[in-house]
Amino acid sequence: MKNLGILLLCLFWLGANATSWRVNNNPAINADFSTFQEAHDAASPGDTIYVEGTGFDNHYGDVTISKKLIVIGPGYFLLDNDSTQANHLVARFQAITLNSGAEGTVIYGLELNWGLSGYKGIIINTSNITIARNYFSDDRARIVFGGNDIYNIALLQNFAWEIRGTYGYSANNVLIANNFVLATISGVSSGVITNNVIKSGITSTYSEIKNNIIYQSSVYPLGGSSYGTENYVAYNLVSGTFHGGSNPPPPPGPGNQENVDMSTVFINFIGGSLPGVDNNWILNPEGPAVGAGENGIDCGMFGGVTPYVLSGLAPIPRIYEADVPISGSAATGLPVTIKVKSQN
């Protein structure tokens, strides 16, 4: 494992004007740091921190980011999809809080679980943040717009339980695209919510809501008790109806489909209260979501400009297969065979 860890480090691209740091909490691995917070505190703004996998019952804890960083983990569901990583351990955190100073931070390929102090996940307290290709593996681990008015947030290609706001604060110019969300999206003051697969519904104001699939909606798939105001709603597929009770219909928009049989939409629709793995939500090529979006794109998380990436693999090269002998000889050396793929 030590040899494999060193090999994985060779894949990482170094920025022209930044330093890259390696974090691994396995004491047998010779990494730069054993804790993320130590790496954060030593890093300069603009640095990259590569976080390697932990054991199943291990994690990097509850951390705070207060400087601009690029954080890259190995991804998730690494045994469930083909050609992911040679090392199948995920980089697990209890929670990450992004505070003032973290503007410009990008986070890829981590798993978030809940901490002992209650509902956690990734808490965004500042602007200009990108959260992409992360897995929130417990219903207490959520993406939360935190205790400030924030702007310019991109949530892309995540496999999440819930995206929510904080009462009394606004999240503006938010892009939520190509995510799976096993609950609801709420708390968006303005933005674009597109090409997501969502279980229950969306609450927002002053937003474009398009190309989404709401697969187990209540009577009110947009807004619960109200639809919000000034939303443009188009090209969405919902299992229920947009209308109900005393609520008004959504604003006029083309392409919305109601009462869709979701068993015809996905290749392996499971429904219910558990999400399964990400490959369950690939579209049935003969289903009603194919070509049903704006300008003929597919609806759902695998369509559009930033299609969902299986297993949350970061956009860097990766070793997906490695044969590393535990010993060699003076005659043959240490023969190592690796297979590498690039990733968009």
**Distance of alpha carbon 232 from alpha carbon 228, whole angstroms:** 11
Give the whole-angstrom CA distance, residue 242 versus residue 249: 6
What pLDDT is stored for residue 325 in this prediction? 67
Looking at residue 243, its pLDDT comes to 62
Report yes or no: 263 and 281 within 8 Å, Cβ to Cβ.
no
Q: What are the DSSP calls for 154-169, one per residue?
A: EEES-EES-EE--TT-
Question: 66 exposed, middle or buried (CB, 10 Å; 0-12, 13-18, 19+)?
Answer: middle
Give the tokens for residue 154: 């991109």
Instruction: Tell me if residue 279 falls in helix, strand or coil.
Output: helix
Q: Which residues of the chain carry a pLDDT beneath 70?
A: 1-17, 56, 114-119, 217-229, 243-252, 320, 324-334
| CATH tag for 2-341 (out of 2.160.20, 2.40.50, 4.10.280, 1.20.1250) | 2.160.20
CA atoms of 39 and 313, how far apart (whole Å): 22
Question: What's the predicted TM-score (pTM) here?
Answer: 0.90
What the block records as the tokens of 298 is 């597919």
- Secondary structure of residue 110 in the 3-state scheme: coil
Q: Give me the residue spans of the domains in the chain.
A: 2-341
End-to-end CA distance of the chain: 27
Q: What is the pLDDT of residue 320?
A: 67
| pLDDT for position 114 | 65
> DSSP of 252-275, one letter per residue?
P-TT-B-S--GGGTBTT---SS--
Amino acid letter, 67: K
CA distance 46 to 327: 39
Instruction: Specify the pLDDT at position 28.
Output: 87
The angle formed by the CA atoms of residues 184, 185 and 189, to the nearest 5 degrees, is: 150
Instruction: Specify the 3-state DSSP secondary structure of 30.
Output: coil
For residue range 32-46, what is the model confidence (pLDDT) as tens digits?
A: 999 999 999 999 999
Query: What does the pLDDT read at residue 226?
Result: 44
Token pair of 222 as six digits: 């947009």
